[in-house]
Amino acid sequence: APLPPQEHEKPPAVANGELRVGSKGKKLRKPRTIYSSLQLQALNQRFQQTQYLALPERAELAAQLGLTQTQVKIWFQNKRSKYKKIMKAG
């Protein structure tokens, strides 16, 4: 049976995996990812080899660690930013 019209016209609750809008119109953020020590070890190790991942490398690393590509991408972005700050401070 087809869905009633109002049902399939509703926008998804999660627009881009980042922000949701609650019933009161307040933006809810996804809870921050907690990485296991094993994941962090692998991410840090990889960062020491290279600060930038190509798409296939990112996909492979994400799959190996059971993370999404977005999580890996953002972890690397944050790590680079933190690293630059430390370098700047000497």
Residue 89 DSSP SS3? helix
Question: Which CATH number goes with the domain that contains 66?
Answer: 1.10.10.60
Confidence of residue 87 (pLDDT cuts 50, 70, 90): very high
* 37-49 vs 55-65: helix crossing angle, rounded to 10: 160
pLDDT of res. 90:
86
Residue 3 within any structural domain of the chain: no
Q: Which domain holds residue 73?
A: 37-88
**How high is the pLDDT of residue 3?**
54
Alpha helices in 1-90 (DSSP H): 5-9, 37-49, 55-65, 69-89
Please report the pLDDT score of residue 8 as a whole number.
Answer: 45
Residue 68 domain flag: yes
How many structural domains are present in the chain? 1
